[in-house]
Amino acid sequence: MENTNKISRRAFVSGTAASVIITAANAGRVLGANERLRIGVIGCGGMANGHMQALLRMKENDNVEIAALCDVWQKRLDAAVTLTGGKPYKDYRALLDQKEIDYVLIATPEHWHAKMTLDAADAGKHIYCEKPMTYSIDESKKVVKKIQQTKVKMQVGVQGMSDDSYETARAYIAEGALGKVVQAQIDYSRNHKGDFWAGQMDTDLKPGENLDWNAWLGPAPKRPFDPDRFFHWRRYWDYSGGIASDLFVHRITRMIKALDLKFPERAVAMGGKWEFTNSPAEIPDTFDMMCDYPGGPTVIVISSQANDTPIPHVIRGHQATLEFNREGFIIRPQGLFAEGRSEIVHKKTGGEDVTLHHRNLCDAIRTGAALKCDVMLGYYGLVAVRMAVDSYRKKKYMAWDARREKAVEA
């Protein structure tokens, strides 16, 4: 039985707002196991192009179709239409109104994730939302509540969760293979010349002509048009948590999964613009965070955009150490506990792959398969990285108030 309810929404058209009433189907349409899934893409930039290429390759074997597209820059929208053949929309809400759309890919800047996710859920659409799940902790709480109230399936775009290494590690750790776990470490570093997270800016971009700048800003603070903010939005606090929300969310989620963690007890972050001191970027080029989880472990995540030398990705237990590698992981006993023990080697299946991640969402929609990165895992990862961002910006320890589900200054 279709469950419908009336909701109000604000719709923008060419930068103006209008109040409208729509009817949203919370459960989505019922699908047969072999029925084609029709996808709407919201945001058609660089990240979305990788997704669209993957979805086009999946078209026949996975029976999916990119049916609709939305972007506020006409040039990107036109290119996506040429690539996929989908129907174009300038207003994502008009895309959500299309009954034939089964799920949406949200590949916009972070400051739009929550609003678009909530609107998609109200429209009865299943959701693949790029990481991080939301910009803020309060937004994540609203998304969790909404998804739990509906039959909507939501996959968060931490595609590394489609590598089975982390759920397998979780089973070994739960069985005591490492003894008491005390610490984990992981990194995500890169290097750049001239400036970091910067590149060519298309001069064909013309706000008021082929770009709706006000629509792009959406819930973010209103500012005059700035091409650097549009093309390199990850460098600005209005739209992103920088290294933490763009890179660390991939890494901390791996440890959260492997160690069966939830919310940090406290978090601290440090760093700065140590190399690219003349960059207009607001975010630091070097950023490190530490999260203490209740009763342990401490999870350490490091990054620099000025040196790409990696560190080992390890989980340290009192009796053994688990080290992740490209093939899976190895568990090596500590010398004091080596007697009677041998190394454990896991060869992974799956991988850090958007195709596998989309396929998992398709299986969840069609057959009820478990999601690799569901709304709760997305929430736990967002809380950790947002606490780190707040710590860095406030120059304070941040603590987790479990009763209110809120980060507070320690």
pLDDT tens per residue across span 96-111 = 999 999 999 999 999 9
The Cα–Cα gap between 51 and 28 comes to 23
Instruction: Tell me: do 279 and 319 sit in the same domain.
Output: yes
Same domain as 34, residue 125: yes
Please compute the mean of the pLDDT values over residues 142-170 and round it to a whole number.
98
Residue 161 in this model has a pLDDT that exceeds 60: yes
Q: Domain check: are 186 and 141 in the same one?
A: no
Tell me: do 174 and 106 sit in the same domain. no
Beta strand 154-157 with 103-106: parallel, antiparallel or unpaired?
unpaired
Distance CA 131, CA 156 (A): 6
Same domain, 266 and 389: yes
Q: Which residue has the higher pLDDT, 26 or 302?
A: 302
Whether residues 155 and 181 fall in one domain:
no
Please state, rounded to an integer, the average pLDDT across all residues of the chain.
Answer: 93
Are 122 and 134 part of one and the same domain? yes
> What are 275-326's pLDDT values in tens digits?
999 999 999 999 999 999 999 999 999 999 999 999 999 999 999 999 999 9
Confidence band of 30 (pLDDT split at 50, 70, 90): low
Residue 18 pLDDT: 32
Q: What pLDDT does 33 receive?
A: 58
For residue 72, is pLDDT > 90? yes
Give me the mean pLDDT over the 121-147 stretch.
Answer: 98
The whole-model pTM stands at 0.92
Question: Domain with 282 in it: what CATH number?
Answer: 3.30.360.10
Provide the percentage of residues in the chain whose pLDDT is more than 90. 91
Judge whether 218 lies within some domain. Answer: no
DSSP label at 400?
E
pLDDT-derived band at 34 (thresholds 50, 70, 90) equals low
Confirm whether 274 is domain-assigned.
yes
Among all chains, which residue has been given the structure tokens 């040429």? 82
Does 147 map to a domain? yes
Domain with 277, as residue range(s), is: 162-197+234-350+376-409
Query: What's the rounded Cα separation, in Å, for the pair 403 and 410?
Result: 15
93 and 123 in one domain?
Answer: yes
The string of pLDDT tens digits covering residues 139-151 is 999 999 999 999 9
Mean pLDDT of 224-249: 98
CATH code of 150's domain = 3.40.50.720
- The continuous run of DSSP H or E covering 106 comes out as strand 103-106
How many structural domains is the chain composed of?
Answer: 2
CA distance 379 to 376: 5
Same domain? For 184 and 88 the reply is no
What phi, psi does 113 have (nearest 5°)? Answer: -55, -45
Tell me, yes or no, whether 73 lies in a domain: yes
Strands (E), 141-263: 154-157, 181-187
Helix H or strand E segment including 75: helix 74-84
369/53 Cα distance (integer angstroms): 24
Q: What is the pLDDT of residue 1?
A: 32
Tell me the backbone φ, ψ of residue 389, rounded to 5 degrees: -60, -45
Which range is least confidently modeled, 32-36, 270-274, 284-288, 328-332? 32-36
Angle in degrees, CA 74, 75, 81, rounded to 5: 85
Residues 181 and 330 in one domain: yes
Extended strands (E) in 293-369:
298-304, 313-317, 320-325, 328-333, 344-347
Token pair 């109000």 is found at 8
